[in-house]
């Protein structure tokens, strides 16, 4: 009996890999836990790393659902602030900390004022080179509100990524199948040629499935240990190992 992942290999080998960016290829430095810890100390709140990861799972699911209805890029500043108050409440709920909207907003403002940058994870570029040696093409699909060309330049991915497609380029966010269709069009591949790798169930897994593309879940925070709708990997080396077997 074939596993879900093995069924994808019946027929021709996949030729292109679509990657989500945030949570899959790149993350915050300092980490989200470190940022939240620093902010919460100002309010005499103590958080744990496991709790913050649980909370971000809930908060990022909220983000994915919001982007499937009214994306943040279309909100005014008041709407965005109210959204992030709810977002922060969910982050803290992972540590069993319940706050009202007013305090959540104050904590969120503190979080926003802590300097950070988004950086490519340490395991990405080496494994990109290995995947390219296997003759895969690599494309990034992101809900970031910058162009794909800007994304590639910002993260210095010119050597590895053939194209990047963003919600700014297409005018829709994942999980809308049109962003996946656009990626297929510019890459000149069919949906049967591609995998999409991402960390969000709604945006990445359901989005890819609805576009007819085989998904792979990147579960770096180990939030979905029992997930079995598709292949689940925990880092880029794990992905590479599965693609060569």
pLDDT bucket at 1, cuts 50 / 70 / 90: very low
- Percent of the chain past pLDDT 70, that is, above it, reads 95
Per-residue pLDDT at 4: 44
Q: How far apart are CA 85 and CA 106, in angstroms?
A: 8
Mean pLDDT along residues 22-46: 97
CATH 3.40.50.1000 fits 4-26+120-243, yes or no: yes
Look at residue 42 and tell me whether its pLDDT is greater than 60. Answer: yes
DSSP helix/strand/coil, 198: strand
Confidence of residue 14 (pLDDT cuts 50, 70, 90): confident
Query: CA 200, CA 232: separation in Å to the nearest integer?
Result: 12
Q: How confident is the model at residue 208 (pLDDT cuts 50, 70, 90)?
A: very high
Most distant CA atoms of the chain, gap in Å: 58
- At 166, is the secondary structure helix, strand, or coil? strand
* Statement: the pTM of the whole predicted model exceeds 0.85: yes
User: What tokens were used for 200?
Assistant: 């969000």
Say how many CA atoms lie within 13 Å of 47 toward its Cβ. 32
Residue 20 near residue 201, CB atoms below 8 Å: no
- pLDDT confidence of 187, banded at 50, 70, 90? very high
Residue 7 pLDDT > 90 = no
Confidence band, pLDDT 50/70/90 cuts, at residue 245:
confident
Radius of gyration of the chain (CA): 18
Domain boundaries, the chain: 4-26+120-243, 31-115
pLDDT, tens only, 109-138: 999 999 999 999 999 999 999 999 999 999
Q: How many residues does the chain have?
A: 245
Q: Rounded to an integer, what distance in angstroms lies between the CA atom of residue 166 and that of residue 150?
A: 10
Reported as a single tens digit per residue, the pLDDT across 65-105 is 999 999 999 999 999 999 999 999 999 999 999 999 999 99
Task: Tell me the DSSP string of 53-93.
Answer: HHHHHHHHHHHHHHHHHS-GGGS-HHHHHHHHHHHHHHHHH
CB atoms < 10 A from the CB of 33, how many?
18
Q: Which among 9, 19, 10, 6 is positioned nearest to 183, based on CA atoms?
A: 19
| pLDDT higher than 80, residue 5 | no
């Amino acid at each position: 009996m074939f596993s879900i992942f093995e069924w994808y290999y019946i027929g021709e080998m996949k030729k292109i890999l679509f990657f989500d960016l945030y949570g899959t290829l790149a993350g915050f430095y300092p980490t989200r836990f470190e940022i939240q810890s620093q902010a919460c100390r100002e309010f005499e709140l103590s958080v744990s790393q496991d709790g913050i990861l649980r909370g971000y799972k809930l908060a990022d699911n909220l983000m994915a659902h919001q982007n499937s209805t009214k994306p943040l890029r279309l909100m005014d500043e008041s709407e965005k602030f109210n959204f992030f108050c709810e977002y922060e409440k969910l982050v803290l709920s992972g540590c069993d900390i319940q706050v009202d909207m007013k305090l959540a907003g104050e904590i969120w403002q503190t979080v926003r004022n802590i300097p950070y940058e988004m950086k490519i994870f340490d395991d990405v570029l080496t494994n990109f080179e290995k995947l390219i040696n296997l003759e895969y093409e690599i494309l990034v699909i992101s809900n970031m509100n910058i162009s794909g060309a800007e994304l590639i330049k910002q993260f210095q991915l010119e050597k590895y990524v053939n194209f990047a497609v963003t919600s700014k380029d297409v005018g829709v966010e994942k999980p809308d199948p049109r962003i996946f269709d656009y990626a297929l069009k510019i890459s000149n591949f069919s949906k049967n040629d591609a995998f999409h790798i991402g960390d969000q169930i709604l945006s990445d897994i359901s989005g890819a499935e609805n576009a007819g593309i085989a998904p792979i879940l990147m579960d770096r925070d180990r939030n979905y240990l029992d997930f079995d709708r598709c292949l689940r990997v925990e880092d880029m080396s794990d992905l590479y190992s599965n693609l060569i077997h």
